[in-house]
Amino acid sequence: MASMERGSEEEAAPDEEDGDEEGGWIIKPGRSEAEEVEVTPACNGKDPCADILAQRLWRGLVHQEEPERNTSGGMSDGQPDDAPSVSPSSLMDTCGPSISSLSSSHSPTHHHANLYSSSSSSSSVLSLTPPLPPSVELPAVLTDTRLTLDVYQGGAAALPLIWRSIPGQLGGLQYVRLGSEDKPGLDGALEVLHHLTELRSLAIRGHCFYDSQGDPLPGLLTTLPTSVSSLSHLVHLDLSFNQLSCLPSCLLSLPALSSLLLCHNHLSALPPDIGQLSSLTYLSLLGNKLVSLPPGVGHLKALETLDISHNLLQQLPDEIGSLEELVKLELSHNKLKQLPESMGSLLSLRELVIYSNDLRLIPHCLNKLPLLKIDVRDNPLGQPPTPPPLPPTPYQAERKIPELHLGFKQHSFCVSSAGCHVFLPGGAELLFPPGCLVTTTRLEWVEKRPERKWVWLEEHDILLSRPLELRPHGITFLKPVDVCVPYPRTKRREVVVQRFDGQSWSTLPTVLRRGSEGHSSHPGGRPARLACCAVNQFSWFMAVSRPVKDSCSVTPAGALLVSSSDPGIKLHFPPDSTVQTRAITLQVLQVPMSEVQALCGDPQASVSPLLCLSQTPSIHFLQPIKVQVPLPSGVTGHTVDMSCLHLLHGDPSAQTWTDITSQVSLYVTHLYAIFYITHFSWYWLWYTTHRCVSGVVRKVYQKLKQFKVQFLVLQRKTDPSQVMLQCLPSNKVDSRVQSLSEQYDGPQPSDLCDLLEGEQFFAGFEKGLDISTESPDCVGGRLRFEFYSSLKNLKEVYICPAQGQKGPVRGQVSFYRGEIPNNLPEEVARKRKGDDSQWLATLPLRLPALNSENNFIMEELQYPPLNLGDPESGYLTEANLLSISLQIGQDWRAIGINLGLSYQELDRIQYKYRDNLGTLVLDMLFHWARGQRNAGPGAVSRLVSAMIESGRRDLADEIEDIVSIGRRKYSESLRRVGLEAEGSSLGETQQ
């Protein structure tokens, strides 16, 4: 699941949409439906409050700037000609997604191009250190009034360099965006800011970029220099996602500041003289550590929106009632126990968001505000004060649920009326509360192999565990029993427990937690992640990850649905879009950019998240539904080429994609694309230079459903008759091999293979290898597997030489495909030819033979006595070969090829000793030497020739010298014992 930080970062920031959910609103009487949701053409369907704020801000920003006329394609049909091309509210998209890259193919708008054509001599010779990335051009981040340096990591460091190079062009800057993840670059940029005297909008935000684990990089801003107070024209300031512990004092000297965003910092208090910001109309303090507000907040007479959600507030000052212009007040996720009576004086207040507090009473003073709507969800309204808990009685203190730890072969256990906490092998837990059973009952558990015939997953679901069967099925518990299934870590997806009742799978309410400290799925490691549900009956259970599901009910009054995984994705349902109430479901599938670019062959391709929309009942809407999605990464409203932007409509049943860009009303703002639809399906926004987009998207989508896997065959070093077969997702192979390298030995993994979720395959032993196992799926020398993306699919089996075999057995294990799944996409099925006889991979295997006691003969000596098959080889000792191996180094592979070793054998040796070059070279030489036993005379000559062909004449000469010296010593020894004549004849025979 997305963290609170990501999930709430756009809840209250002004955006292209009002980010509050409609569910849980209390509509006060006395307000007509038209007044409540009135939308004028001038607002283009935006929330009235947001538009009023945005228009006021825009009038303050652009009165000295010539309007840009439809340069980015962002103007809607109803927009007047003299309106700016970018939505004014996009200037305050402070908690929205940031741009991670900027394509060099995006050209600046025409009047910006004129600027740089006239000054090409100066811009073309700029040499910045650090330089801009190759994909970023200076004209793309710098226009005559805007400078956007948060599009690449460390971009803030370029500001002082640009200032020293072209200060004249920066003097008129009005809009600047900086990232704050690079401390030295940020410090240099802060020293330049006071020179930008015309600045009107400044954003210095963290969390613009992500590390290799996918976690956002923190902003490092801790304060602002006092020179910032000289920015007298500044009206908009965004310092979100940084490390401010107090409000910089220089901000209190900014007379024109009307919008201040300090989301997700470390503020614990506000200065008493906060009221000096008399022009402030928007203030966001979301996600800080505020425990109280100073009375001076009541002096912010112009304030229209105040967001203090996700803090630690326990009470509000009475001076809050002095904010006469306040329209929206956000107080959610605090610790408020009551609201002051002075709030009855907030006559302009239209929205009060107070959900997730500790309020038990709504003050009557708010009834004086008939136009006010209040969101009061998750408050203990009407409940009496909670009394303090009673101290536990001695009996309760001593009473503890007994624990039961089961082994892999313990598949049954007893539970009495006292309850029990059962720990299953692998990390699963069962918690039986006291009183759930009347009498002692024997229960059973077993893990099943997932089979496609009965394990049904939805389109984008991933199985995280083996199905766990708990028996007997018919028993009913008097109290709910907690069933906790372990699962691996997932990113940006929700984990749920699904239950099979014998007919179909259903999703249960799921709570995620860590397992007990005393029962880790990895001994000595952290407790397992558990997906827990409460059940009254036993059946089958499994953990599944899926894209986060957000849902709401749409009534004739309309609604707003915001994605919890990506708050930049919003669905706005206008009034009268439906007659009956509908249930709406939204899922967002994040797609890796690198995979899309690799699959479609377009390095400039970029995509938005995939939207999966559904509704019940499934009929068209009566009014167009407004959909907002983030622009593809690297694309902004200033740089977008509308001819490359494609909106794709997907049909999940037919597995087709259609380009509907020309059929919908599609326009862009600075960060978002907005379009209107009347029916629900899948929608995907692509930015690509390809012309035939639909066919490419279809292929990419089907490829993304496949998994890259590899096969392993490993023998236990202490008992080579124990063999482990594995099929692993490719990204887990290296770590798995490394973890098993001390106990197991084997060839390198197979090549990459493409398998679909739930596709069957078999492992069959061949060439004199038998299987000894009781498993019912081991038939005809085969083991059956079924691949699921997050399972290791390993099976350890006992194999032995076939009956009557003598000597060590060399064989192989081959992997075959199983039957084709019924719902295999046509595109994939067409490429998959052949039946079970099609091999996925074949890996070599070697087993020792049986001795007279029917025991396995263990491995021979690692390096047997040297014998190259002819008498001359006796001159080349094992010590000589060891000395030669120390001089070979990186030439070992070329020498091995010239000695006649196969590429496959060299690869096996390289993988086996990849961390030890000396051992690797020695194993290669002795492997060749063992193969020369029956090859006849001339082995030394072949070794010398291989060295010469590999460019190692020095080693060839050394070998010849060793043999020559050995021959001379041998002749001398014969002469000493009186066998010189025989030795001479022997030498003649050799020659």
Please state the three-class secondary structure of 628-673 as a single string.
Answer: EEECCCCCCCCCCCHHHEEEEEEECCCCEEEECHHHCCEEECCCEE
Radius of gyration of the chain (CA): 36
Cα 162 to chain centroid distance, Å, stands at 35
Which neighbouring-strand residues pair with 108?
none
- Mean per-residue pLDDT of the chain: 75
Angle between helices 939-949 and 953-976 (to 10 degrees): 160
Phi first, then psi: give them for residue 752, nearest 5 degrees: -65, 140
Count of alpha carbons within 13 Å of 3, Cβ hemisphere only?
8
Pairing of the two strands 468-471 and 441-447? antiparallel
Cis peptide before 425 (omega within 30 of 0): no
Closest Cα partner for 705 from 809, 558, 591, 865? 591
Predicted confidence band of residue 84 (pLDDT cuts 50, 70, 90): very low
Cα 258 to chain centroid distance, Å, stands at 37
What is the arithmetic mean of pLDDT over 791-809?
A: 74
pTM above 0.75, yes or no: no
pLDDT of residue 59 exceeding 90: no
Residue entry with tokens 């069959």: 764
pLDDT of residue 10 exceeding 70: no
Amino acid at 342: S
Residue entry with tokens 């797609």: 591
> Quick one: DSSP state of residue 770?
E
pLDDT at site 498: 92
Structure tokens at 414: 């007893």
pLDDT of residue 277 exceeding 70: yes
Structure tokens at 97: 């997604």
pLDDT at site 852: 58
Q: How many CB atoms lie within 10 A of CB 465?
A: 24
Q: How many CB atoms lie within 10 A of CB 605?
A: 23
Predicted confidence band of residue 551 (pLDDT cuts 50, 70, 90): confident
pLDDT at site 70: 37
In degrees to the nearest 10, what's the CA dihedral of 876, 879, 881, 885?
-160
> Quick one: DSSP state of residue 246?
S
- Over residues 233-268, the pLDDT tens digits come to 999 999 999 999 999 989 988 889 999 999 999 999
Structure tokens at 961: 């010298």
pLDDT of residue 503 exceeding 70: yes
- Over residues 369-386, the pLDDT tens digits come to 878 888 888 888 777 666
Residue pair 519/405 in contact (Cβ under 8 Å)? The answer is yes
pLDDT at site 915: 66
pLDDT at site 780: 61
Residue entry with tokens 């880790």: 520
What is the arithmetic mean of pLDDT over 147-152?
A: 82
